[in-house]
Amino acid sequence: MPELPEVETVKRTLELKLTGLTIDSVDIAMPKIIREPSPQEFGAQIKGRKITGLGRRGKYLLLYLSSDKVLIIHLRMTGRLIYAAPGEPLPRHTHVIFSLSNGNQLRFADMRQFGRIQLAPKQALNQVKGLKDLGPEPLEKDFTRNLLRRELKRKRVRLKTLLLDQTFIAGLGNIYADEALHRARLHPMRIANSLSPREIANLYHSIIEVLREGIQNRGTSFRDYVDGDGRKGNYQKLLRVYNREGLPCPHCGTTIARMKVSGRSSYFCPACQRKQ
């Protein structure tokens, strides 16, 4: 599942290749992937625009285009964005193909068809649904310990639920939320406003740590994720709790458990992460 570190890795693998190229044409095999504008309009507007740079906000990948347009891409669960030569075999579930001025292609494939692509004017970025309500970027300066403390105090929801809430913090998904909670030794069911200052500090540093490690290891390829070159990440080898039910906790050896928290699987160590 592409979360912040995976989207950041895709961004880094693609920006060297895409920056400076022009999009000659777009082939849309599955119209519903294009959220806005209409597929015809989308194709017309994007044609001939130059890719001036790449960006990321939360789990959204941003392709900045000439004439102040931005291509907004969300991979959701199984989306893939891959740079390839036209001669390379077209994988199943390839829904959108951007033909580039150097003869190569940028391909969007998505088995479960949850991913979305949208085109918006640059100045309207902060009005785009999903983007406009995003919380702070956890690896940027605006995410401070004080901010986390202030926001936690206001909330009576479970920690796991809160970490997955993109309006609270942008970019965490199920994998890195579980890993951050384990590292901070906090139970996923703990209520947000019950944390001590020490626990808040632990959570703060843990969130930043797991995301940085994820990026350093080129993301987690638990199932479908690959980067812009189609290569898998390495962080799945270093996960301590996620998808490790029944296996020993790397810290204490206790068997890792799994429970549902607001509809999502949560993996945790019952010894390291006590409920209290």
Q: Tokens for 30?
A: 């599955």
Q: Is-catalytic flag, 3?
A: yes
> Does 93 belong to an annotated binding site?
yes
Check 2, 136, 138, 188 and give the catalytic one. Answer: 2
Taking the complex as a whole, the smallest distance from the CB of residue 50 to DNA amounts, in Å, to 27
Give the bridge partners for 65, in sequence order.
51, 69
Q: What are the Cα distances from residue 190, in Å, to 1, 107, 159, 252, 274?
A: 25, 42, 6, 21, 9
* Beta carbon nearer to DNA, 234 or 265: 265
Rounded Cα distance between 79 and 3, Å, is 11
Q: Is-catalytic flag, 59?
A: yes
Q: Is-catalytic flag, 136?
A: no
DSSP secondary structure, 54-72, as one string: EEEETTEEEEEEGGGEEEE
Taking the complex as a whole, the smallest distance from the CB of residue 48 to DNA amounts, in Å, to 28
Q: Is-catalytic flag, 2?
A: yes
Q: What are the Cα distances from residue 143, in Å, to 6, 56, 97, 160, 169?
A: 20, 16, 36, 18, 9
Taking the complex as a whole, the smallest distance from the CB of residue 52 to DNA amounts, in Å, to 24
> Does 156 belong to an annotated binding site?
no
Rounded Cα distance between 2 and 99, Å, is 24
Q: Strands 51-57 and 60-65: what pairing? A: antiparallel
Check 209, 231, 264, 270 and give the catalytic one. Answer: 264
* Beta carbon nearer to DNA, 19 or 113: 113
User: How many other C-beta atoms can be found within 10 angstroms of the C-beta atom of residue 31?
Assistant: 12
Taking the complex as a whole, the smallest distance from the CB of residue 22 to DNA amounts, in Å, to 29
Taking the complex as a whole, the smallest distance from the CB of residue 76 to DNA amounts, in Å, to 5
Check 11, 49, 57, 59 and give the catalytic one. Answer: 59
* Beta carbon nearer to DNA, 166 or 273: 166
> Does 155 belong to an annotated binding site?
yes
CA proximity to 241, closest of 225, 255, 226: 255
Q: Tokens for 162?
A: 């809160």
* Beta carbon nearer to DNA, 1 or 100: 1
- Footprint of DNA on this chain (CB under 7 A)? 1, 3, 32, 58-59, 74, 76-78, 92-93, 111-114, 129-130, 155-157, 161, 164, 166, 173-175, 260, 262-265
* Beta carbon nearer to DNA, 23 or 108: 108
DSSP secondary structure, 253-266, as one string: -PBPEEEEETTEEE
Residues serving a catalytic function are 2-3, 59, 264
**Binding site residues for DNA, as ranges?**
93, 112, 155
**Binding site residues, as ranges?**
93, 112, 155
